[in-house]
Amino acid sequence: MTPTYNFAFLDENTKRMLRRALLKAVAIPGYQVPFGSREMPLPYGWGTGGIQVTAALLGPDDVLKVIDQGADDTTNAVNIRRFFARTAGVATTERTAEASVIQTRHRIPETPLREDQILVFQVPEPEPLRTLEPREAETRTMHALADYGLMHVKLYEDIAQYGHIATSYDYPVLVDGRFLTSPSPIPKFDNPKLDHSPALMLFGAGREKRLYAIPPYTQVESLAFDDHPFEIQRWEHQCALCGSGESYLDEVVVDDCGTRMFVCSDTDYCGEHLAEAVA
Amino acid sequence: MLAAFADPVFDSQRNFRELLQAMARPAVPRELPNLPPAPVPIIPAAMAILMTLCDATTAVWLQQPNDETTCHLRFHAGTRLVDDPRDADFALITDPESMPPLDTFAQGEMRYPDRSASLIVQVPDLRAHAGAYFAGPGIRQTAQLAIDGLPQRFWQQRAAIATRLPLGIDLFFVAAQRMVALPRTTRLLES
Amino acid sequence: MYVAVKGGEQAIARSLELLAEARRGDPATAELELAQIRQQLRLGVARVMQEGSLYDEELAALAIRQAAGDMLEAIFLLRAYRTTLPRFGYTEALDTTRMRVRRRISGTFKDVPGGQVLGPTYDYTQRLLEFGPTVPIATVEAEVPLAEAMPRVLDLLDAEALIERIDAGADPEPVDLTRKPLMFPANRATRLQNLSRGDEGFLLGMAYSTQRGYAESHPFAGEIRMGEVDVLVCPEELGFAIEIGSITLTECQMINQFHGGNGVPPQFTRGYGLGMGESERKAMSMALVDRALRCDELGEPAYAPAQNQEFVLSHSDNVEASGFVQHLKLPHYVDFQAELSLLRTLSAQHVRHASDRHQAVPEQALEESQA
């Protein structure tokens, strides 16, 4: 642990500010709480929101897992894990089941989460309406009025043009029937895991200075139309390593001729599944 | 003067995690692990919440302020104490029978519903698996909870405020070492 | 057989070693001393302090050395350190009329009380590379010392009631943008704070656009002054202000023509810029952008990017911008895979539709010819 910095880098005033904002975020599911995001020693866009949330949560009894694209060994996940090992001295793990706090970028683990676990998402753009309306003053008003016509029109135009909704990740959800919310850029494959999750889910956007939350056992509905229900991605392949037919797959180019193979994006799940298959 | 947390960093952290879980899983009582001493009429569990969450940037309203409590809070947490309950980020209710109407406190603005008060209410007792049924985000089906010592009008006032969601007030109830949260979204079910 | 990529931890460790080696360069060459950076690269130090929001020459020099001269990286280093510093209090408002001026020019009057003072400036250097070693120069003491307090040029216009009057203390207490999130609409104090931390290059481009017709600005450089200003604090237990030191500042007051509107009579209006150290380009750019952002208050038509406060203030910060642009280096396998499978579906659909149409055309043509 680096002794010149406070536990988990942030000073106690900042942690209190984050903790108050997190409690409000949980109390108003899916609503984006503005917070005094601090300048972190990692770049904006690289998980500063998630890092601040994790820093406000962590204590000496925690076991931290950090994943990026579902994998523990991607460089940015390694770097964030290293940061907390250095500034908080917390135990870290690559096993989903062993973690008390999981910080993630772009995935929800395949292994079902439990009530005693907290999932922290890194969020680049917390505003689901931002690509449709760049002005914050306008999007705030739309949320205040629960006026999400703009998003419905966008999805409907997709259907008119392509025959189905052309959004494959960061697929907008309605939380507790009230706030339109960005699930962060997870593939829509992961959206069903948000609905009535046993684990608390916290979202941090450092650059945009917003926090939000989806409490456990809360209705999270992926937007759809009666005649165009929500669907998740499916593969014709199974994981080439563990044989899973249920997990989200990464496509890997393995030679110069463009030969592809498909493997689990969740490396912990893949390893566990393989070990079970061998046993 | 009384002391505050023995270990400010970790005592607050452990308390916060319980508060967070309490807010995420409403109507289920939990124990606060680290209680600091508190001057009368504040009980240690209420003081633990104030010490965990409040500092010079938060406005705190005390229902029954006295020299010792205000001194204690100013010295240990540097909290800004306010006279008008409408200005409070956090309000401490030490006598629920005589508390001001709930809609006295800030319920947020339509664009910023988070700019609302959090209330800490000291009650004689709170028990799970008894009393009224609650539902809402964070509650799997229903949760049963009895909170003693609240006037009947409290629940009527809370129901009236609930029509203004997402505006609202978030509540923590404390009794001895126990604490339970009722965020604005938690509904009291008619029996 | 394929195995999932492992070894991120090791790769990072090796990369850090390579970076350290590259940063140091040939060990036979002496390492840069912080005093050398502070004294000989002082304008770089000023920029890092200004955009890093921390007046500390030594730390800024350290950051520049650690960042191998990448100013944005140095600013980032300083900001990340600044986050962890405790706050002891706030200073009294700085009084720049009491600046010990080293440079002071006005583009609006040939001569002004206190005089035009060029001071150390690159303006008239002719930009010829000096190939030889720097020759030490003995400066000559002026015959008449500069006035201790120089009146502001804009105050001369104020006497004639030709320029808008902005009373000291009329602005609300500014919020601290490093503690509170930026909210819209932002008042002028908040906007100025954002601009003062903003990227010099971004502000320069925005300011330039206002001169080229993207916002009607008609600016004049009313006054630019640079020098030392005392910093005062008023500790609660003392009850009176004490001086804790002085800092170098550059201040720019632009004068802009205004034909009147929104209940305001025709008069000159002001744009304001302030920067730490010698930071004239930044202060001037800031003043032009500040003025452009006052369009709503003055009832001016707002159509240009520099007048759009959400656009300007949300994109001015180079630590935010640099982080987000560069985050594209991070893996996006998962989202890319999602897009890949979507595109394959759309593309297959396109081919199917095209072939359907192809088959449909002859039949239709046949029907038409029969009709």
Residue C343 pLDDT: 87
Sorting pLDDT into bands at 50, 70 and 90, what band is C361? Answer: low
Q: Convert A109-154 into a string of H (helix), E (strand) and C (coil).
A: CCCCCCCCCEEEEECCCCCCCCCCCCCHHHHHHHHHHCCCHHHHHH
> B17 vs A59: CB contact, 8 Å cut-off?
yes
Give percent of chain A with pLDDT exceeding 70: 99
Residue count of chain C, please give it.
371
- Which of A30, A59, A70, A204 is catalytic? The answer is A30
Cα separation, C123 vs C107, whole angstroms: 14
Optimal mutation site among B15, B19, B21, B23, interface A, most CBs of chain A within 10 A: B23
More confident site: B80 or C151: B80
More confident site: C136 or B44: B44
Q: What is the mean pLDDT of residues B113-131?
A: 97
- Residue B34 inside a domain? The answer is yes
Question: Number of CB pairs < 8 Å for A and C?
Answer: 151
- The lowest-confidence range among A28-32, B31-35, B45-49, C83-87 is C83-87
Q: Which letter does DSSP use for residue C139 in this model?
A: P
- Any idea what the Cα angle at residue C292 is, between residues C192 and C255, rounded to 5°? 90
**Catalytic-residue membership of A270:** yes
Residue C233 pLDDT: 93
Tens-digit pLDDT profile for residues A105-158: 999 999 999 999 999 999 999 999 999 999 999 999 999 999 999 999 999 998
Cα separation, A168 vs A124, whole angstroms: 16
Q: Say which residues have a Cβ less than 8 Å from residue C85's Cβ, sequence separation at least 6.
A: C54
Distances (CA, A) of A247 to A27, A87, A250, C30: 32, 34, 10, 56
Sorting pLDDT into bands at 50, 70 and 90, what band is B123? Answer: very high
> B52 vs A15: CB contact, 8 Å cut-off?
no
Residue C353 pLDDT: 80
- Residue B189 inside a domain? The answer is no
Residues in chain B closer than 8 A to A200 (CB atoms)? 20-21, 24
Q: What is the mean pLDDT of residues C224-233?
A: 96
Contacts by C161-164, CB closer than 8 A, 24 or more apart: C161/C267, C162/C267, C162/C268, C163/C255, C163/C267, C163/C268, C163/C269, C163/C270, C164/C258, C164/C264, C164/C267, C164/C268, C164/C269, C164/C270
The answer to whether C131 faces chain A, any CB pair under 8 Å, is no
- Average pLDDT of the residues of chain A: 94
> A43 vs C76: CB contact, 8 Å cut-off?
yes
In this structure, what token pair is assigned to residue A125? 């753009």
- Residue B82 inside a domain? The answer is yes
Residues A71-96 as b or e (16 or more Cβ within 10 Å = b): bbbbbbbbbbbbbbeebbebebbbeb
Sorting pLDDT into bands at 50, 70 and 90, what band is C5? Answer: low
Q: Which residues of chain B from 59 to 88 reach within 8 Å of chain A, CB to CB?
A: none
Model-level pTM?
0.90
Tens-digit pLDDT profile for residues C185-199: 999 999 999 999 999
Nearest chain B Cα distance for residue A182, angstroms:
17
- Helices A12-27, B44-53: crossing angle, 10 deg rounding: 110
Beta-carbon neighbour count of residue C329 at 10 Å? 12
Segment holding C252, helix H or strand E: strand C242-258
Cα end-to-end span (Å), chain A = 39
> B137 vs A31: CB contact, 8 Å cut-off?
no
Dihedral angle computed from the Cα positions of residues A9, A12, A18 and A22, in that order, rounded to the nearest 10 degrees:
110
In this structure, what token pair is assigned to residue B17? 């995690």
Q: What is the mean pLDDT of residues B151-161?
A: 96
Distances (CA, A) of B122 to B73, B149, C87: 17, 9, 34
In this structure, what token pair is assigned to residue B37? 């001493």
Optimal mutation site among A11, A22, A24, interface B, most CBs of chain B within 10 A: A24
Q: Which residues of chain C from 285 to 324 reach within 8 Å of chain A, CB to CB?
A: 310, 314, 319-320, 322-324
**Catalytic-residue membership of A264:** yes
- Residue B67 inside a domain? The answer is yes
- Residue B124 inside a domain? The answer is yes
Beta-carbon neighbour count of residue B31 at 10 Å? 11
Residue A46 pLDDT: 92
**Contact at 8 Å (CB) between B169 and B117?**
yes
Tens-digit pLDDT profile for residues C239-287: 899 999 999 999 999 999 888 877 778 889 999 999 999 999 999 999 9
The residue assigned the tokens 């003055």 is: C298
- The answer to whether residue A21 scores a pLDDT higher than 70 is yes
| CB-based burial label for C337 (10 Å; 0-12, 13-18, 19+) | buried
- The answer to whether residue B191 scores a pLDDT higher than 70 is no
Residue C371 pLDDT: 45
**Catalytic-residue membership of A257:** no
In this structure, what token pair is assigned to residue C312? 């300007």
- Residue B1 inside a domain? The answer is no
Tens-digit pLDDT profile for residues A178-229: 999 999 999 999 999 999 999 999 999 999 999 999 999 999 999 999 889 9
Sorting pLDDT into bands at 50, 70 and 90, what band is C2? Answer: low
Residues in chain A closer than 8 A to B137 (CB atoms)? 29, 176, 215, 217-219
- Residue B3 inside a domain? The answer is no
**Contact at 8 Å (CB) between A165 and A155?**
yes
Handedness of CA C357, C362, C367, C371 (dihedral sign): positive
Q: What are phi and psi of C70, to 5 degrees?
A: -80, 105
Cα separation, B179 vs B172, whole angstroms: 7
In this structure, what token pair is assigned to residue B67? 């020299």
More confident site: C176 or C235: C176
Domain total of chain B: 1
Segment holding C357, helix H or strand E: helix C333-370
- The answer to whether residue C3 scores a pLDDT higher than 80 is no
Q: What is the mean pLDDT of residues B32-44?
A: 95
Say which CATH number the domain at B33 has.
3.40.50.11310
- Any idea what the Cα angle at residue C80 is, between residues C79 and C84, rounded to 5°? 105
Please give the biggest Cα pair distance in chain B.
47
- Average pLDDT of the residues of chain C: 89
User: Which residue in B166, B175, B185 sits closest to B148, CA to CA?
Assistant: B175
Q: Say which residues have a Cβ less than 8 Å from residue B78's Cβ, sequence separation at least 6.
A: B55, B56
- The answer to whether residue C168 scores a pLDDT higher than 90 is no
- Residue B35 inside a domain? The answer is yes
Residue A1 pLDDT: 42
Sorting pLDDT into bands at 50, 70 and 90, what band is C360? Answer: low
User: Which residue in C167, C188, C210, C163 sits closest to C272, CA to CA?
Assistant: C188
**Contact at 8 Å (CB) between B64 and B91?**
no
- The answer to whether residue C307 scores a pLDDT higher than 60 is yes
Sorting pLDDT into bands at 50, 70 and 90, what band is C362? Answer: low
Domain hosting residue B164, numbered range: 8-184
Interface predicted TM-score (ipTM) of this complex, two decimals: 0.97
